[in-house]
Amino acid sequence: MDATLDGETVGLRCQGGVIAEVGPGVTAHHEDELIDGTGMALVQGLVNAHTHAAMTLFRGFADDLPLMEWLEQHIWPAEARLEPEHVYWGTRLACAEMIRTGTIAFWDMYWHPEAVARAVEDAGLRAVVAVPLIDGSDASTARARAEEALDLVRESGSGRVRAGYAPHALYTVGPDSLRWVAERAEERGATVQIHLSETREEVENCISVHGVRPAFHLDGAGLLGPNTILAHGVWLDEAELELIAERGATVVTNPVANLKLAVGGLFPYLAARRRGVAMGVGTDGPGSNNSLDLFSDLKTFALLQKNAAWDAAAVDAGETLRLGQGDSSPLLRTPALSSGAPADFLLVRTRSPELALGALDAGLVYAASGSIVDTTVVAGRALMRGGNVDDASEAMTRAQECASQIGVR
Ligand SMILES: [Zn+2]
């Protein structure tokens, strides 16, 4: 009650996980649980469109190394020791951080996806939990495992968790498995998440092995459709962007992870926007970012794009915020705050030094970080009130134990 929305003082009532009424003059019913929104603004939550949540366990472990050395010598050996319980608590810790910093939904790709799904259910967020696929030495066994995992994720569902496939990347998944994913995803109505064109080396390898650039290779396997998320896309060229726009796939940029791993390039956002490519923004995993605070990453995104374009007007705060809310992709979009929409929203502190003056969009993108969020509500349930996330303390303790067990602490 009494929060501001688009400059007006409003009330918002939730019932059964959806918004029953919102607007000026909406008042509480006597049985309602009340949240006082005085000094706060109602804002749509953020959608973290690419992450590996459980990698909170690897935060601060083997930092400051090149991507392939980091993966091959440190992360992959440690991941081989992961049990579902470790992934569960790593994901719970990530959920606590995302709730605290204003993310209401995320797109995840990680091992033991059934444990990820359970963690998301328990934490109260929404997520698309993708089952990972790497060919390894036995592609058919890997595919069978992915299929089983998809069933398990689907069984866990309360409606807040959806399942998808995640072929890891073109350098770890061959053309046969890519085609298999395309068929299975189509048949089962599932989404697909894949890393694409993160490094220049990856693009050069794709051309030398398959004779075409990555987006064309993926298209040849039938995977470049409206239900596919392409994470990174740093090295996409104009022809690839045109093809992606035509097929309706979504590219998710991860500006901070790209900077930290020094990929040397920048996602060609302005060219992609010109061609009408669907887009989103993600943090990538906490092993390579290391934060899950998407509000901070939105600032980095906007500044990088402005600077590379030599044009301070290239991207504005409102556009950046909407990108973070999933509005630039049909796959990521969440409904506006209106009656009948899911009751997912944030209350941000406008009575704070960062937001007390000036336009709210600019304040949220350039001045604030996720710490400005006071209340996070998903499906009508307040997961955080007054900056305190339920169960955050247990998640920290258990994740620390898990990190010790797998020898990264
Ligand atoms: Zn990633």
**104-117, pLDDT tens digit by residue?**
999 999 999 999 99
In total, the chain counts a number of residues equal to: 409
Which helix (H) or strand (E) segment is 300 a member of?
Answer: helix 294-309
pLDDT at 287: 87
The rounded Å distance from CA 202 to ligand 1 centre is 14
How far apart are the C-alpha atoms of 98 and 29, rounded to whole Å? 31
**215-270, pLDDT tens digit by residue?**
999 999 999 999 999 999 999 999 999 999 999 999 999 999 999 999 999 999 99
Catalogue the E-assigned strands of 117-213.
126-133, 161-167, 191-196
For residue 389, give Cα distances in angstroms to 254, 300, 382.
26, 26, 9
The average pLDDT across 42-46 equals 98
The rounded Å distance from CA 28 to ligand 1 centre is 43
**318-327, pLDDT tens digit by residue?**
999 999 999 9
Residue 1 scores a pLDDT above 90:
no
The rounded Å distance from CA 195 to ligand 1 centre is 6
Torsion of CA 129, 100, 302, 331, to 10 degrees: 30
For residue 92, give Cα distances in angstroms to 178, 276, 284.
30, 36, 16
66 — pLDDT class (breaks 50, 70, 90) = confident
The rounded Å distance from CA 176 to ligand 1 centre is 22
The rounded Å distance from CA 304 to ligand 1 centre is 20
The rounded Å distance from CA 169 to ligand 1 centre is 9
The rounded Å distance from CA 231 to ligand 1 centre is 7
The average pLDDT across 33-51 equals 96
Residue 401 scores a pLDDT above 80:
yes
Q: Is residue 125 within 8 Å of 117, Cβ to Cβ?
A: no
Percent of the chain with pLDDT over 90: 92
The rounded Å distance from CA 239 to ligand 1 centre is 24
Percent of the chain with pLDDT over 70: 100
End-to-end CA distance of the chain: 44
The rounded Å distance from CA 249 to ligand 1 centre is 17
**Residue 345: strand pairing partners:** 377
pLDDT at 35: 95
The average pLDDT across 188-199 equals 97
Task: Supply the mean pLDDT for the chain.
Answer: 96
pLDDT at 67: 80
The rounded Å distance from CA 205 to ligand 1 centre is 19
pLDDT at 153: 95
pLDDT at 158: 78
pLDDT at 295: 98
The rounded Å distance from CA 287 to ligand 1 centre is 10
**261-295, pLDDT tens digit by residue?**
999 999 999 999 999 999 999 999 998 899 999 99
> Please, which residues have CB within 8 angstroms of residue 79's CB and are 6 or more apart in sequence?
111
306 — pLDDT class (breaks 50, 70, 90) = very high
**144-167, pLDDT tens digit by residue?**
999 999 999 999 877 899 999 999
